[in-house]
Structure 1
């Protein structure tokens, strides 16, 4: 399974980022191989459509799950359309949220927050 975790940096030890569309990095983590890749979020500085652009970027990476703090309605709609589940991260680092997910201790986000919630 491939996870996408919002992050402030490019390592598993980086601080977890609560914002989805404007996070600095996405960490793509494979739960089978335990390997990861860090992708800079080029949509974070967009004047408009950061959530949609970020969601489309994530979709292009063939991920199964997103772990983030906040999820706007447009980004959630894109992810829902691709059957990608979204979970609310509660850990302070990327790695901590991966571990919490693997222990089934994160809650699924079934309803998006307000637009521009992360700004």
Structure 2
């Protein structure tokens, strides 16, 4: 399974970035092998608006089934839900920690956005 994790850096030891749309990077991680692809989200992070929607589209295009992050706004959440991507808003620590917590069932899926837009 592929999961997308918002990240402050480009590797598994990087800290989870709590912001989805404005995260510096998004790592798409295979939960079995921990192999990953780095998505540069800087273009979206600097956008005046629509950052979450654009980031959600990138995640969807890479085939992720789950997003692990800290905060997800309403437009991004709706876009992810429409693509069939589940969202866990309580991820923290390193990217590796977040993926491990997900695999162990310690993260719960959100049923709505947990911040207002433009956060």
Using the size of structure 2 for normalisation, the TM-score is 0.93
SS of the residue corresponding to residue 26 of structure 1 reads: strand
Cα separation, 1, equivalents of 2:92 and 2:82:
27
Cα separation, 2, equivalents of 1:96 and 1:104:
12
1:40-59 to 2 correspondences below 5 Å: 40-41=40-41, 42-59=43-60
Using the size of structure 1 for normalisation, the TM-score is 0.93
Cα separation, 2, equivalents of 1:78 and 1:110:
13
Partner of 2:77: 76
Cα separation, 2, equivalents of 1:33 and 1:93:
17
Cα separation, 2, equivalents of 1:82 and 1:116:
21
Q: Which runs of 5+ in 2 are unaligned?
A: none
Q: Write out the 4+ residue segments of structure 1 that deviate beyond 6 Å after TM superposition.
A: none
Q: Which runs of 5+ in 1 are unaligned?
A: none
1:89 Cα offset (Å): 3.4
Partner of 1:3: 3
8 A contact 1:17–1:69 mirrored in 2 = yes
1:88 Cα offset (Å): 2.1
CA-based RMSD of the aligned residues comes to 1.0
